Amino acid sequence: MPSTTDLLDSLRASEGGSTLTELLTRHPDIARRTAQRMIAKLIESGQVTAQGEGRARRYFAAGAQAGTGMPTARADGFPPSIPLSADSQDILAYVDQPPEARKPVGYQRDFLDAYRPNETWYLSESLRRQLHRMGRTADVDEPAGTYSRAILNRLLIDLSWASSLLEGNTYSRLDTRELIEHGKAARGKAAIETQMILNHKTAIELLVENIDSAEFNRYTLMNLHSALAENLLPNPADEGRVRQHAVEIGKSVYRPLSTPQQIDDALDALLEKANRIRDPFEQSFFMMVHLPYLQPFADINKRTSRLAANLPLFRANLCPLTFLDVPEQAYSRAILGVYELTRVELLRDLYVWAYERSTQEYLAIRQELAEPDPLRLAWRDLVKRTVREVVTHPELDPLSCVRRSVAEHVPQEDQPNVQALIVEELRRLHEGVLARYGLRPSEFMAWKAVHGH
């Protein structure tokens, strides 16, 4: 039976604290009144603090910076809701060391040269299938950009706000909406914050309006950077221009290229490879990885990469990647893994989680009810049996169980699709769907404890 210690551990691991409802979701075996008594004791002993009233009341482990979303008890900066692979945990263990304990490293051209479009994959086939399934819209067969134009008003607010937030901007979503829709700057905000939001708006409009001709070439990239950088750089000549000087990355031992000719050559190679990638998600993620790593501009490289990552999604009429609710600490550490280790696993895990979070926001404004998936319908019973088998045997490797079940029951030509379908069901598993698989909360929690889902 979960104890007071379990509740305290959850609060320590929770970015921004937790409401009572959120705690009960994580500990379904605790009755509401019991949880209330436990929390009261923790507050009385000084181990927990509280903010707010009623249902909005949030609880924080003592030492967490209430109101800032920065608990000191969790060093990795990743909220527990973002599933991380073992490889990602290894990257975190490295980048969470103090800078003096990490090995100084320069730009590794081999990292880019080793990537072969449509042969090398940062996103596995099963992940790409999941992303396509999540992001599919009713406009998938329409001309390029149909969907992004249809949701443009909402997109301008969400993406401008969330991407700016990752840069430390303090505008709220409501402030952003007032600025974008009515031109009304928020009171008490620095001019640089207002400029950053407006620049995002201009850059997103640039992509959407030119979607028919936009591709990953110098013209698109330079103009995208120029829009994002307007009035924000010490030297206006650096807007939309390959940098002419060395730069340093704060809190990192990574040193990017400093010679303009080397930067130019690497940028040409990067764009040439990006343009040849056929899958929109792989193409999107490739830009998220390699553009910040190269640092082709004097500043505003990460912002440029986040918008560039949306170009393939806009073109394919997929849901956008808005970065809603992505924690800045998590994003920074994922990028550090690329800078210092040329490892993409941590950024990949964050990308998949962030995309699912983005699509959830847009489900309500999709213009159709989803048609039943014929594959899911045909293999409904097998999916349920396999999910149940995996969860009730936490000692076994989940992927091996899935492969064995699919190999025994599914014709060879359908095996990759059915396997991807089951993996997706496992990844989405939560307390609200357990009855569908004949599972008890205790079985699910035992499985999560082993596999960290």
Pairing of strands 105-106, 254-255: parallel
169 labeled binding residue = no
User: In sequence order, which ranges of 187-279 are alpha helices (DSSP H)?
Assistant: 191-209, 218-229, 260-276
What percentage of the chain's residues is helix, strand, coil (to nearest 5)?
Answer: 60, 5, 40
210 labeled binding residue = no
Per the document, the length of the chain is 453
Spatial separation of the C-alpha atoms in residues 292 and 361, rounded to whole Å: 27
Spatial separation of the C-alpha atoms in residues 158 and 176, rounded to whole Å: 9
State the virtual CA torsion across 28, 32, 37, 43 in degrees, nearest 10.
70
157 labeled binding residue = no
Spatial separation of the C-alpha atoms in residues 71 and 77, rounded to whole Å: 9
Task: Tell me the one-letter amino acid at 356.
Answer: E
Task: Tell me the one-letter amino acid at 451.
Answer: H
User: In sequence order, which ranges of 98-172 are alpha helices (DSSP H)?
Assistant: 109-113, 125-135, 146-150, 152-165
Pairing of strands 105-106, 48-51: unpaired
103 labeled binding residue = no
Tell me the two tokens of residue 441: 């909360």
* Residue 327: count of CB within 10 angstroms of its CB: 19
Residue 450 CA neighbour count, 13 Å, CB half: 14
Pairing of strands 58-61, 48-51: antiparallel
Spatial separation of the C-alpha atoms in residues 255 and 19, rounded to whole Å: 42
Structural Rg of the chain based on CA atoms: 23
333 labeled binding residue = no
3 state SS of 98? coil
Pick from 361, 366, 354, 362: which is nearest to 165 by CA?
354
41 labeled binding residue = no
Contacts of 75 (CB under 8 A, 6+ apart): 96
Alpha carbon distance, N-terminus to C-terminus of the chain: 20
Contacts of 435 (CB under 8 A, 6+ apart): none
306 labeled binding residue = yes
Residues of the binding site: 299-306
Residues of the binding site for ATP: 299-306
